[in-house]
Structure 1
Amino acid sequence: MRTTTLWRPTGPEELALVAASGWLAWPPRLPDQPIFYPVLSEDYAILIARDWNVPASGAGYVTRFDVRTDYLDNYEVRQAGGRDILEYWIPAEDLAEFNHQIVGTIEVVRRFPDDAPIPG
């Protein structure tokens, strides 16, 4: 089984829900969040976690996780800005199945600031 490594920048509230799942799943989207956006590069995730999540919520985290490649083949990679700013757009109604396609656990690989607590 082939997997694709994805990253997700997140704030403390969403990360607490991931921790509550046993680090196995992303929480359902809120009504104003119709799309789940995992990204294809750690650098892009760092940029968002550091420059957007920290000012918005006091802390930012970069998570890494693997998803079955054959499942991701059902979705297009989207260019969200520059050539290297790539992400998947997973519709909110597909997130439960997306979570079933995660192989292993979701792990925190960076945090901003460096001493930001990791829930769970």
Structure 2
Amino acid sequence: MTTQQQPTTTLWRPTGPEELALVAASGWRAWPPRLPEQPIFYPVMNEDYAIRIARDWNVPASGIGYVTRFEVETEFLQRYPVQQAGGRTILELWVPAEELDEFNQHLVGRIQVVHEFR
């Protein structure tokens, strides 16, 4: 018996060392709950935008910035319209903090670190 794999969408997330440590503690399979001042989890739609945030925001804030890549079931993501947060390529998904557990259930495979900036 074979199982049919659902189509996935690749997303990226720029992150700092504290959040990445929590991802690692999950076995690289889940994003941690948001802090009270973080009502939205925002993965981004392209690698270049994630690099800019990690390099230009995370490094000055914490000395290091990471870009992660991960897959999510495409059908599940349809509930989150793509948000243009600036220019044409500044595209994000806005996942309400209270939906992050469900979002994590639709991750496929592991969260991977693909870039590191210091």
Aligned counterparts of 1:53 and 1:100: Cα–Cα separation in 2:
27
Give the structure 2 partner of residue 110 of structure 1.
115
Other structure's SS at 2:72 match: strand
Structure 1: segments with no counterpart, 5+ residues: 114-120
Residue 53 in structure 1 maps to residue 55 in structure 2: no
- Structure 1 segments of 4 or more deviating over 3 A? none
Superposition RMSD in Å: 0.4
Residue 31 in structure 1 maps to residue 36 in structure 2: yes
Structure 2: segments with no counterpart, 5+ residues: 1-5
Give the structure 1 partner of residue 88 of structure 2.
83
Aligned counterparts of 2:94 and 2:85: Cα–Cα separation in 1:
10
TM, length-normalised to structure 1: 0.94
Larger Cα-atom Rg: 2
TM, length-normalised to structure 2: 0.95
Aligned counterparts of 1:71 and 1:23: Cα–Cα separation in 2:
20
Q: State the percentage of identical aligned residues.
A: 74
Other structure's SS at 1:4 match: strand
Give the structure 2 partner of residue 9 of structure 1.
14
